[in-house]
Amino acid sequence: MESIVGKPYPRIDAITKATGEAQFAADLRLPHMLYGLILRSPHPHARVVKIDASRAHRVAAVKAVVTAADVPTVKFGSKGDQTILAVDRVRFVGEEVAAVAATSPDAAAEALDLISVEYELLPAVFELEEAMKHGAPRVHDVDNNVAHRLFIDRGDVDRGFSRADVVCEESFSTHAVAHCYVEPHACLAVYDSSGRLNIWSPDQGPFNHQANLSRVLKMPLSKIRVVQPHVGGGFGGKRFLPLYQIAALLSMKYGRPVQMLNSRKDELVASRPRVPAVVRLKMGATRDGVVTAKQANIISGCGAYSGITPSIMDVTAYRVDSLYRFKNIKTEATLVYSNTTPKGSFRGFGNPQGHFPVESMMDMLAEKLGLDPAEMRLRNVVHTGDVTAHGWAMGSCGISECIERAAASSAWSEKRKDRQPGRGIGMGCVVHVSGNRFLGDYDGSSAIVKVNEDGRVVVISGEGDVGQGANLLFAQIVGEVLGVDPSRIEVPRADTDISPFGSGAGADRVTFIGGNAVKLAAEDARRQLVAVAAQLLEANPADLEVANGAVFVKGSPGRSVSVPEVAASTFRRRGNGPIIGKGTYDPPSVVPDPVTKYGNSSAAYAFAAHVAEVDVDIETGQVKVLNLVAAHDLGRAINPLSAEGQIEGTVAQGLGFTLTEALITESGQVLNTSLSDYRVPTAMDMPSVAPILVESNDPNGPFGAKGLGEPGIAALVPAVVNAVYDAVGIRVTDLPVDPESLRRQMATRMPFE
């Protein structure tokens, strides 16, 4: 049989999406549906003295109004610091204060204007280091606005620096950026006559969403159903937004379906952008290029509420250390509140903020030592079988091959020698997880594979497809096991009433963990299929193979029975039943120590090396990325076409983060509230991208596969910044790259001096 895994099959939902038949949350319609809107705070910090919604109630088309008085007093977030609607204080511009539901969007907007809120303004703080000062305005009742701290001490840092022949120190900063998915947040909530809440939302983890709703609404899980429609991109942002809870409250209050849609302005003002960070870094190395010590002080910003940001800061603090054989590490990291939009997860989950400084400093050390930056990395990277300073066990590791192939494909050595004015080439590397156990002691997934009477196969998983192609990946895995073409395999949308449990899309876990569960379920179905076929063929099950849509006797392909025939027979033979395979996969990872963070939190690690070639306009400081080679160790490419698409997607988002995107704020107010002034890269900004798929065949992965979707951004950022330095001799330490700053610095010196 020709293998299905490893082939570039087209997306199984491509036609549905291209023709507009795919139903997203904003497309859903139900009889008597109401339209909900949110009243948001215009102030960064204020006491809510009084809310008067009486005039809004008098609008005939308005059916429901909710304020904090209607909300269960349940706090959520990692620090238990947030409620669905502001109770007595607002802490950022855009915070949810009240909401209405009306028979039309226009009526809802009219009602919002009629709600009167009396505020008492309070002092506010916006900058991280200002927020930590003694006497700064308190966002919450904690000292110095500190939400979370982490201390890591491995080896002997002082001794490591004493052994170093060169030492570099520098400060770096990264900024908040928005996800800018094609589909803004939207949902449809229906509280039915039985007292059950049904919600259609693009949340990346339907079961986590169900649990969150249960907790904050004080409802039993059995009374909540979450269905994931088609999702127009998640990137970490489609999680834990009050919009969904507010829609539920409105529907519960009036008993009719309520649809809520974020505008693009809502997305830019009040979603959950990337966590900003300031990193003060010191590293030392011997004259032969071996890093002897790393010391870092990190300040990350969570905004007005903690959400999931403590875990994001932790990733910034220590994940990059397992890219290299670092032994002596000392890190202090502090998460700080401010009166700004709450931050959240974004593709990479804190990894870009940590890799940008370290990968920049690897180049700085290499320059001091007179070493090629690629060679500097090769002398320090981890290898298969290593256990890192943080306890990460490398079951497979292709980072050396990534570096070597990226360098060869980009003509790295030749271009570093053949220098042209304004042209430069740079490298950046990354390590990332494939699933992650640090959010709790379960990172598993379950799946069901059902073979229907006509031989078509249905794969049921709680790991939703958020646009990354998970459904096709599952179809190829099942097709490989059952010998069925993916075109005959269906993967329904995730539904908490029907799907087995899954933690959802995040931490690059869907391929590795969801894929393993699906593979186990398919293998269970295959055993049942073979057992029935053995009866039909009067053969020993051990002598049978499954391939090309049939079960046949090894060495005698003429003695065969088709999968549809086998499946049909199970419905018509006494003692048989439908073929339903079940699989559960919980990876062999551990929860890191809550204090030291030591422990193998993932069962597989993905790697990448990017090489960027840039052109810097000497007169304007504008940076243009011309070419990008992206070598990724993904274990095994289940679908090479989808894999290349994932890499290209990270390039686009990474370019925005590095060069063009920033949420511009003034006194806590976001100023660029539309995509006309928030600069997302377009097709015209994209370089020529050459993806390279490195297959290290992870021993724990489904057919050797591991994660791919997230690492690229963390490798691209330093690749571009290092290329800018190579081009004009200016070290960029603050993102995004500022053309005006580059221009001024270039004006004071000649390039290549």
Give the pLDDT confidence of 308-364 residue by residue, as tens digits.
999 999 999 999 999 999 999 999 999 999 999 999 999 999 999 999 999 999 999
Q: In Å, what is the CA distance from 140 to each residue of 79, 131, 147, 192, 323?
A: 11, 11, 9, 38, 36
The yes/no answer on whether domain 444-585 falls in CATH 3.40.50.1970 is no
User: Are the C-beta atoms of 543 and 554 separated by less than 8 Å?
Assistant: yes
Domain segments of the chain: what residues? 26-122+184-233+238-265, 277-438+592-747, 444-585
Q: At what angle do helices 640-655 and 711-728 cross, to 10 degrees?
A: 50
Q: In Å, what is the CA distance from 84 to each residue of 175, 216, 266, 337, 694?
A: 26, 8, 16, 18, 45
Average pLDDT of 596-623?
A: 97
* pLDDT at res. 133: 98
pLDDT band at 440 (very low <50, low <70, confident <90, very high): confident
What kind and span of H or E run contains 724?
A: helix 711-728
Q: Please tell me the distance from the alpha carbon of residue 704 to that of residue 152, in angstroms, as a whole number.
A: 32
pLDDT at 604 over 70: yes
pLDDT at 723 over 90: yes
User: Are the C-beta atoms of 687 and 625 separated by less than 8 Å?
Assistant: yes
Side-by-side strand order, sheet with 544-547 = 544-547, 550-553, 556-562
Give the tens place of pLDDT for each residue, 126-155: 999 999 999 999 999 999 999 999 999 999
pLDDT at 751 over 60: no
- DSSP letter (8 states) at residue 24: B
Calculate what percentage of the chain has a pLDDT beyond 90.
Answer: 94
- Whole-prediction pTM: 0.97
Q: Please tell me the distance from the alpha carbon of residue 307 to that of residue 84, in angstroms, as a whole number.
A: 12
Q: Which residue has the higher pLDDT, 559 or 557?
A: 559
DSSP 620-667: T--EEEEEEEEEEE-SS-SSHHHHHHHHHHHHHHHHIIIII----EET
Q: Of 163, 371, 334, 185, which is closest to residue 266 (Cα–Cα)? A: 185
User: Are the C-beta atoms of 632 and 693 separated by less than 8 Å?
Assistant: yes
Give the tens place of pLDDT for each residue, 576-586: 788 999 999 99
Q: Of 485, 487, 469, 474, which is closest to residue 521 (Cα–Cα)? A: 474
The yes/no answer on whether domain 26-122+184-233+238-265 falls in CATH 3.30.1330.10 is no
Average pLDDT of 673-698?
A: 97
Average pLDDT of 696-718?
A: 98
User: Are the C-beta atoms of 656 and 623 separated by less than 8 Å?
Assistant: no
Average pLDDT of 596-621?
A: 97
Give the tens place of pLDDT for each residue, 657-685: 999 999 999 999 999 999 999 999 999 99
AA identity, residue 118? E
Q: Please tell me the distance from the alpha carbon of residue 665 to that of residue 328, in angstroms, as a whole number.
A: 39
pLDDT at 575 over 80: no
Identify the three-state secondary structure at position 359: helix
* pLDDT at res. 82: 97
What kind and span of H or E run contains 404?
A: helix 399-409
Average pLDDT of 208-216?
A: 96
Give the tens place of pLDDT for each residue, 11-44: 999 999 999 999 999 999 999 999 999 999 999 9
Q: Other CB atoms closer than 10 Å to residue 224's CB: what's the count?
A: 21
Give the tens place of pLDDT for each residue, 534-546: 999 999 999 999 9
**Of the options 3.30.365.10, 3.40.50.2300, 2.70.70.10, 3.30.70.1290, the CATH number for the domain spanning 277-438+592-747:** 3.30.365.10
pLDDT at 741 over 80: yes
444-585 matches 26-122+184-233+238-265 in CATH topology: no
Q: Residues near 245 by Cβ (< 8 Å), separated by ≥ 6?
A: 84, 212, 213, 216, 217
Average pLDDT of 599-611?
A: 98
* pLDDT at res. 750: 54
Give the tens place of pLDDT for each residue, 448-489: 999 999 999 999 999 989 999 999 999 999 999 999 999 999
AA identity, residue 537? L
pLDDT at 570 over 90: no
AA identity, residue 273? P
* pLDDT at res. 323: 99
* pLDDT at res. 574: 63
- DSSP letter (8 states) at residue 437: G
Q: Of 410, 355, 352, which is closest to residue 377 (Cα–Cα)? A: 355
* pLDDT at res. 141: 97
pLDDT at 379 over 80: yes
Alpha carbons within 13 angstroms on the beta-carbon side of residue 161 total: 12
pLDDT at 753 over 50: no
Average pLDDT of 523-527?
A: 98
Side-by-side strand order, sheet with 423-433 = 423-433, 605-616, 623-633, 688-694
Instruction: Tell me the average pLDDT of the chain.
Output: 96
Q: Other CB atoms closer than 10 Å to residue 462's CB: what's the count?
A: 27
* pLDDT at res. 195: 97
